[in-house]
Amino acid sequence: MKRQYPMILTFVFGLIGFILRFSPILNEKYLNDLLSWTMAIAAFAVVIAVISLVKHHAEKIRRKHKDMIYSFVTFIGLIVMALVGILGHYMPGSIWKSIFDNLYKYVRTPLDATMFSLLAFYISSAAYRAFRARTWHATALLISGFIVMIGRVAFGPLMIFADITNWIMLIPTTAVMRAIMIGVGLGITATSIKIILGIETSYLGGGEK
Amino acid sequence: MGTILWSTFAVFLTLSIFSFLIKDNPFYKFAEHLFAGISVGYLVVITFTQIFIPRVWKPLMNSIDTGNILRSAFLIIGVFIGLLYLSRASNKYSWLSRYPISIVVGFGSGFAIAPSLNARVLKQLHSTVVEDGQSLLNIQKIIAFFRDPSFSSLYNATYGPLLVIGVLVVLIYFFFSFKNDNPVIKYTRTPALLYMMVGFGAAFGYTFMARISLFVDRMNFILNRWWPLIQNKLM
């Protein structure tokens, strides 16, 4: 009951999903309803995200961790954003909507963009370490990376780098990405079949039978 | 005034995150924890307003209003199964969350097989053989290069063969990565590695420049949008 029934459900719904793709009549009739239904179920997975976050920070506060003050910041951020967003959804012209928009524009967006831009500094230091390994692989990687970096902002006499960048993006990069894509496609297909047939069960987690 | 306050807060958060480049500090921790809370809060709002309301609540209310009992029951069962995710909070009943997971994973897997094969395998293979209705291994283009040698005709002549060879050698490298003395596998390793290193280097350069663009955007925000606002207010 704890593992067998979920595996049977996976098999049944896997078959339904597979057949729906190949039957235009069933597809037209039931696809939207079934997609909405599974999306509605999947939407509740957000609850797991909230539970994990709350559990982690509640534990920090309970243990009086030295950084517990920041856990309160996370809680405040979560509660304010969720409440203001939902209130703003029901009252479109209200102050809640305006606060939600400002929270998104002036808090979430800058934080998101800055976090990702911070990675530029770390990938440079990682690249430096990688390029110190004096092999021809690292040299090819370095030269290609350098050309593309210059090529993306090329001007005047440096435009030659833009042309070489185009060539690199169109031929070697496309060839590699295409081969990877084919491998990924075959991998997804094989894994999906394994999941439906109950060979791959890691998504159910460990624990009791 | 509101815009100035919000913008100043955005600048404070931006600088707080960048302060991590010096070392970990309370400003960075504040911004990092706020980011986690705000992001999950935003996820809750988006899930509630974009999925739960339009795909569950409204159809459920409509079907109740129109007396469509079967559809109402179908949606209520969906909500009930979704609610089983909540059992994750309990150690004793967390196995119940396997039911919604198995439905979503099962349906997703079955539904993904055909499009994944089509878009990631068949279409990619097709594009490796034919492009714009012409074979990529077009001997006419090679003849054209020898008739009129130029950079343009060289590019046209080598584009297809280099692409096809690249895809083939990289595929061989991936699928036969174990030690093998077969000459095809053995002698395609170095070209495959060269293709991959050039490709990954380009991907690295591209990603790096995308990150730098974000950095430039943040600096642009501080220097060209926020600072003029402050100057106007002070003068």
Contacts 24+ apart (CB under 8 A), A124-130: A124/B208, A127/B204, A127/B208
Listed by number, the residues of chain A in 137-176 with a beta carbon closer than 8 Å to a beta carbon of chain B are 137-138, 140-149, 151-153, 165, 167-176
Please tell me the distance from the alpha carbon of residue A68 to that of residue A78, in angstroms, as a whole number: 16
Enumerate the β-bridge partners of residue B130. B135
Residue B71: its pLDDT value, please? 85
Q: Which residue matches tokens 């090819």?
A: A140
Q: Which domain holds residue A155?
A: 133-198
Q: A60 lies in a domain?
A: no
Q: Over 80: is that where the pLDDT of A90 sits?
A: yes
Q: Do B13 and A110 touch (CB under 8 A)?
A: yes
Q: A153 lies in a domain?
A: yes
Residue A209's pLDDT band (cuts 50, 70, 90): low
- Alpha-carbon separation of residue A61 from A57, A69, B36, B41, B186 (angstroms): 6, 8, 16, 20, 58
| Residue in A closest to B216 by C-alpha | A117
| Minimal Cβ distance to B45: which of A73, A85, A121 | A85
Q: Do A21 and B125 touch (CB under 8 A)?
A: no
Please tell me the distance from the alpha carbon of residue B129 to that of residue B25, in angstroms, as a whole number: 55
The CB density around residue B92, as the number of other CB atoms within 10 Å, is 7
pLDDT in tens, A67-83: 899 999 999 999 999 99
Q: Which residues contact A189 (CB under 8 A, 6 or more apart)?
A: B113, B116, B117, B121
Give contacts of A114 with chain B, Cβ < 8 Å.
13-14, 17-18, 214, 218
pLDDT in tens, B44-71: 999 999 988 988 889 889 988 998 888 8
Q: A144 lies in a domain?
A: yes
**To the nearest whole angstrom, how far is the Cα of A177 from the nearest Cα of chain B?**
8
Residues in chain B: 235
Residue A208's pLDDT band (cuts 50, 70, 90): low
Q: Do B78 and A41 touch (CB under 8 A)?
A: yes
DSSP line for chain B = -HHHHHHHHHHHHHHHHHGGGT---HHHHHHHHHHHHHHHHHHHHHIIIIIIIIIIIHHHHHHHHTT-HHHHHHHHHHHHHHHGGGGGG-TTTGGGGHHHHHHHHHHHHHHHHHHHIIIIIIHHHHHHHEETTEESS-HHHHHHHHHS--HHHHHHHHHHHHHHHHHHHHHHHHHT-S----HHHHHHHHHHHHHHHHHHHHHHHHHHHHHHHHHHHHHHIIIIIIHHHHHHHH-
Structure tokens, A17: 């999903």
Number of folded domains in chain A?
Answer: 1
Could you give the ipTM of this predicted complex? 0.84
Q: A151 lies in a domain?
A: yes
Residue B6's pLDDT band (cuts 50, 70, 90): very high
- Span A12-38, mean pLDDT? 83
Of all residues in chain B, the percent with pLDDT exceeding 70 is 100
Q: Do A38 and B113 touch (CB under 8 A)?
A: no
Please tell me the distance from the alpha carbon of residue A170 to that of residue A158, in angstroms, as a whole number: 19
